[in-house]
Amino acid sequence: MASIPHLTRRLLLATTLACVAGTTLAQASDYPSRPVTVVVPFAPGGSVDSAARLALQALSERLKQPFVVENVAGASGTIGSQRVARAAPDGYTLLFAVASPINVAPVVKPSIVRYDALKDFAPVATVASSPFVLIGSPRLAAPATADVIAMARQSPGKLNYGTDGVGTSMHLTAEIIKLSAGIDVVHVPYKNGPQVLTEVSSGLIELAVMPVTLAQPFIKDGKVKAYGVTSRQRWPSLPDVPALAETPALKTVDVDSWYGLLAPAGTDAAIVARLAGAVREALKDPGLVEKMGTAGLKPMVIERAEFAALLKLERETLAAAVKAAGIQPE
């Protein structure tokens, strides 16, 4: 084969790179040109599903294509997350998630995880944050958090609490509360949050740790007792519910949950940037902000590299908490 002169090779390379860059920019500017599937790795009607539908409706309006929720529940959110991790990185299959499948399950229950969450996803942006809330059955003879702690200390292992499964954010948050208070309360895992709420309100289980977004209708209707939110300060949508940190034994408790959008790793950076920009603009809409506030969510935008850094720090923090609590990974 005849050799190509050095300058000619450089010109060919420059031309090729320019064509590739031009194609990439064109693809990003045309994106999305068809409906986008957004996997919510939890059951319909839960807190993540509700937050996703609020945010994705706003994205659909701004990007002029449907962002369609597909609920793929199971295994602490890891089944749906795995599907997205293995999807084509073209921007048309995304994940709307919380910490459970991204950072909690890999630390608490690594045997069920079939992806590397810190490598197999391209973080797009968070859309909101919200704390959890410790709730109790109306039949439980404990009017305040301090009374629950006293009851648990008097009878170790007698009280129980429900969450949406082993290796979820709710499970780990409950374990943090137990560790902080120095109490022994038995975990009863369920398949989803709405099921837990029904069981607590009927008195079949005594306590639960639930997302504010899911529990607050039951709290406001008096169907369950609200002992305290896990945020450092009281939460705007439940102003009469104390922060758990107001109880001396739980003064260090400070847990909020992020809700965010992720893409498969390898998704074009320009597409990720376009999605992040759309999230940022959507959250400037007073109407959306009001709807989120009513649902117990606080709008929060952390984009791309900063979101990735948040996930890395969260993984390290959760791993330390699991070790301190003596939780044995499964």
Task: Residue 228: count other Cβ atoms within 10 Å of its Cβ.
Answer: 26
pLDDT for the residue 9: 46
pLDDT for the residue 53: 96
pLDDT for the residue 16: 54
277: Cβ–Cβ under 8 A, 6 or more apart, which residues?
none
Compute the distance between CA of residue 274 and CA of residue 67 in angstroms, rounded to an integer: 14
Q: Does domain 35-130+256-325 have CATH number 3.40.190.150?
A: yes
For the chain, domain boundaries: 35-130+256-325, 131-250
pLDDT for the residue 27: 58
Compute the distance between CA of residue 80 and CA of residue 71 in angstroms, rounded to an integer: 8
Q: Are 191 and 165 in contact (CB under 8 A)?
A: yes
Superfamily of domain 131-250, CATH level 4 = Periplasmic binding protein-like II (3.40.190.10)
163 φ/ψ angles, rounded to the nearest 5 degrees: -140, -175
14: Cβ–Cβ under 8 A, 6 or more apart, which residues?
none
pLDDT for the residue 19: 53
Pairing of strands 298-299, 121-136: antiparallel
Identify the three-state secondary structure at position 207. strand
Nearest to 120 by CA among 262, 306, 264: 264
Residues 153-172 as b or e (16 or more Cβ within 10 Å = b): eeeeeebebbbbbbbbbbbb
Structure tokens at 130: 């919200």
Q: Where are the alpha helices (DSSP H) in 182-303?
A: 193-201, 212-220, 269-282, 286-294
Compute the distance between CA of residue 52 and CA of residue 79 in angstroms, rounded to an integer: 17
257: Cβ–Cβ under 8 A, 6 or more apart, which residues?
98, 99, 129, 130, 131, 132, 169, 211
Segments of the chain scoring below 50 in pLDDT: 1-13, 17-18, 20-21, 23-26
End-to-end CA distance of the chain: 59
Compute the distance between CA of residue 72 and CA of residue 44 in angstroms, rounded to an integer: 9
Structure tokens at 152: 């648990």
Task: Residue 44: count other Cβ atoms within 10 Å of its Cβ.
Answer: 13
Nearest to 330 by CA among 193, 191, 176, 171: 171
pLDDT for the residue 304: 96
Task: Please determine whether the domains at 35-130+256-325 and 131-250 fall in the same fold group of CATH.
Answer: yes
Q: What global pTM score does this model have?
A: 0.83
